[in-house]
Structure 1
């Protein structure tokens, strides 16, 4: 994706560790086998290997799973730009499924479009990769709410 966007400066020098720790708390990501190999200011990638358990009736990765990784990638991209002690929560997103998620793996690339103190606008693209050919299978636009002083975890 990497559109012509400004270079963002994180407000928390420990943003990458904070985002990785938050990702580890997401049991849903562990359940589907997702990984978080790229965490940069305003940009995150989630990689998901193919597993038969996450497919729909045609053998493609389910659209709900595509939405999960797009939502998380863009949400974590937003979280890279929030201050320490701030968590994020999705307010809304619009997902367009463009092609079947038919690949050996999926890559969701999330990035911040416009950071704000309370609301951040993000987007994501999800690619299905088969034999190293990348096919854009979904695009998403999202609004994220920064929750200042709200700790993550089950209380």
Structure 2
């Protein structure tokens, strides 16, 4: 179990997510924010599919990256930002369903680097199938909060 340094972490994360134009563009939401864990939900819509009708792998990567990055950010102080250094995404099966859920979690929290993972699930007619897994390294930016627009 991870412990948040910032008692207002959920409000901070919600506000930051609200400023993410990319998440707004694809129609994603973040209904779950807990210490070391977040979920991003993305309903299926034709504008984010590829030529076979599946949700595009790049979009799957977007929500995995953001879910895991925000999971890391739940554990930082309010004065610390985070930035993805790298991630490895495995697409396990086509992202086919009415809803995608990216579950981001912290594997190891360090002062400079945070290792996270995301599991992405496609929900199709009540059935939940894992369609992607990602491991990510996050760099902390001490003294650099999110840019406020």
TM over 0.5: yes
Query: Which of these residues, 32, 38, 44, is aligned with residue 38 of structure 1?
Result: 32
Q: TM-score, normalised by structure 1?
A: 0.94
Q: TM-score, normalised by structure 2?
A: 0.98
Unaligned runs of 5+ in 2: none
Partner residue in 1 for 2:109 = 115
Unaligned runs of 5+ in 1: 1-6
1:154 is displaced (CA, Å) by 6.4
Large movers: runs of 4+ above 2 Å: none
**Residues 6-34 of structure 1, C-alpha deviations (whole Å, 9 max, x = no match):** x1110110111111111011100000000
Are 1:29 and 2:33 counterparts?
A: no
Task: Map 1:70-85 onto structure 2 (within 5 A).
Answer: 70-85=64-79
Alpha-carbon distance between aligned partners in 1 of 2:52 and 2:29, rounded to the nearest angstrom? 24
Are 1:9 and 2:3 counterparts?
A: yes
Partner residue in 2 for 1:60 = 54
Q: CA RMSD in A?
A: 1.0
Partner residue in 1 for 2:81 = 87
